[in-house]
Amino acid sequence: MSKIYVSSEINNLQKVIIHTPGKELELMTPETAEEVLYDDILNLQNALDQHSQLTGVLSKVAQPFEVSVLLTEILKDPKIHDEVVFKICDKLRTPENIEELIRLEPAALAEQLITGTEIKRDTLERFLSKSQYSIHPLPNLFFTRDSAMVINRNVLIGNMATQVRTTETVLMRFLFKYHPELSCDLDYLVDTTKLNEKHATFEGGDILILREDTLVIGMSERTSPSGIDHLVENFKQEGTVKHIFVVMLPRHRAWIHLDMVFTMIDIDKAVVFPDLINERNAVDVIHINITDPARPTFKRHDYLLEALKTVDIKLNPVYCGGQNPLTQQREQWQSGANFFTIGPGKIIGYGMNYHTYEELGKAGIPRVEADDVLNGKVDLKKLDKYAVAMRGNELTRGGGGCRCMTLPVLRDA
């Protein structure tokens, strides 16, 4: 049995990678927040309290793996330990850090790769540098979705749009290459740590698997046209993916990735931000048909849900924020469309988005409080459908929701 396999957003979850936020969040200041893609600084204790609800709920239904634990385990092999150090220092062009990092024990190295390495002020260039770090902390690491993706039986290592997230992709590459819970006899579909494709960017928040042969990809400020072309060429060779629907998102901080405005939650349902997903001509949608890899075709559609019907995928929209345009905008900003699907009609999201949860209830997916799941009042395995509501007012300030914070690596077929 394969250790990795994800052929849909909604198939029953077995294994998922998460990262509990740590000291790296406390290394941000108001001045450096923008440098690491944040609009504000987060309170670590509040973030930990809320993230523990996500971890606790997932532990009830699947097997969550922590990035720091996985990383520490592979670093116990001396060869892998040194290979990781050399690869990161080479990728980030910081050879001056090799000697210090090589000497660290596995757990200490894992922690420092996540919390960063301060710049050495031993040359004029580094003395004058405005940056405090030569290897940046990774406050975005708890958004594990972006730096790697499992599509069917293949792993894609993301090509991040910003340099500060490069280390995340290198770490994910090594986890999938070496950890026994993740590694198997596979060839990477795309391993961008080996490439120098600065313009061909793509991140996991923009890539949704609706069916084994059908993907939806957001063309956003993080995923470029050339990045999508790069993926298409690889999917042609891979042979399973036949249809790619590209949603051309406007550049806006509120929807940096497609999964901030669209997530599939059941066989026939998706939570959508209607302004972009359910309005004709709001955004362009391009269907790339690679059924014949030698002759791909491109066709424009008015809006996504209509386009998907051409491949027999019929999704009923559940409006993020309910029926009021004001609450739709407010709850979309609070990651109200960003749900993680545990199984068909079984989801988890931020409970503060009350109007969205009311719409889910009307659609037959009742609200369940995360606290009730964790204290044993509710047994998720006995429920056919549910929408777990966890706390998220601190986490959402980082710019993402439950789908952003989860990297599924194994689902049922």
Identify the domain containing residue 262 by its residue range: 20-411
Answer yes or no: are the C-beta atoms of 285 and 299 closer than 8 Å: no
Cβ neighbours of 113 (radius 10 Å) = 25
DSSP assignment of 185-233 equals S---SEEGGG---SSS-B-GGGEEEEETTEEEEEESSSS-HHHHHHHHH
d(CA 151, CA 240): 10
The verdict on residue 5 lying in a domain is no
Strand ranges across the sheet with 269-272: 262-266, 269-272, 316-319
- pTM value is 0.93
Whole-number pLDDT of residue 257: 94
The verdict on residue 10 lying in a domain is no
Answer yes or no: are the C-beta atoms of 191 and 158 closer than 8 Å: no
Answer yes or no: are the C-beta atoms of 404 and 147 closer than 8 Å: no
How many domains does the chain fold into? 1
Whole-number pLDDT of residue 197: 63
Whole-number pLDDT of residue 202: 92
Q: Is 398 helix (H, G, I), strand (E, B) or coil?
A: helix
For residues 197-210, one letter each, b for 16 or more C-beta atoms within 10 angstroms of the residue's C-beta and e for the rest, the string is eeebbbbbbbbbbb
Closest to 60 (Cα-Cα) out of 382, 392, 379: 379
Answer yes or no: are the C-beta atoms of 278 and 272 closer than 8 Å: yes
Whole-number pLDDT of residue 2: 65
What is the tens place of the pLDDT at every residue in 65-105? 999 999 999 999 999 999 999 999 999 999 999 999 999 99
Whole-number pLDDT of residue 238: 85
Whole-number pLDDT of residue 192: 62
Answer yes or no: are the C-beta atoms of 237 and 336 closer than 8 Å: no
The verdict on residue 13 lying in a domain is no
The CATH number of the domain where 160 resides is what? 3.75.10.10
Name the pairing type of β-strands 63-66 and 297-301: unpaired
Query: What residues contact residue 311 under an 8 Å CB cut-off, 6+ apart?
Result: 211, 214, 243
Query: What residues contact residue 139 under an 8 Å CB cut-off, 6+ apart?
Result: 21, 24, 25, 27, 28, 36, 38, 42, 398
Give CA separation, 387 vs 41, 113, 222, 308, 330, in Å. Answer: 29, 35, 29, 25, 20
Whole-number pLDDT of residue 363: 98
The verdict on residue 15 lying in a domain is no
Answer yes or no: are the C-beta atoms of 18 and 65 closer than 8 Å: yes
Whole-number pLDDT of residue 78: 97
The verdict on residue 103 lying in a domain is yes
Phi-psi region of 321 (alpha: psi -120 to 50; beta: other; left: phi over 0): left
d(CA 156, CA 172): 10
Place of tokens 């031993």: 122
Residues of the chain with pLDDT under 70: 1-2, 33, 35-37, 184-198
Phi-psi region of 381 (alpha: psi -120 to 50; beta: other; left: phi over 0): alpha
The verdict on residue 4 lying in a domain is no
Q: Which residues pair with 288 in a beta bridge?
A: 244, 298
Query: Amino acid letter at 258?
Result: L
The verdict on residue 342 lying in a domain is yes
Whole-number pLDDT of residue 399: 87
The radius of gyration of the chain's CA atoms, rounded to the nearest angstrom, is 21
Structure tokens at 116: 């960063």
What is the tens place of the pLDDT at every residue in 208-221? 999 999 999 999 98
d(CA 176, CA 258): 25
The verdict on residue 87 lying in a domain is yes
User: Around 90, how many Cα atoms within 13 Å sit in the side-chain half-sphere?
Assistant: 11
Whole-number pLDDT of residue 79: 97
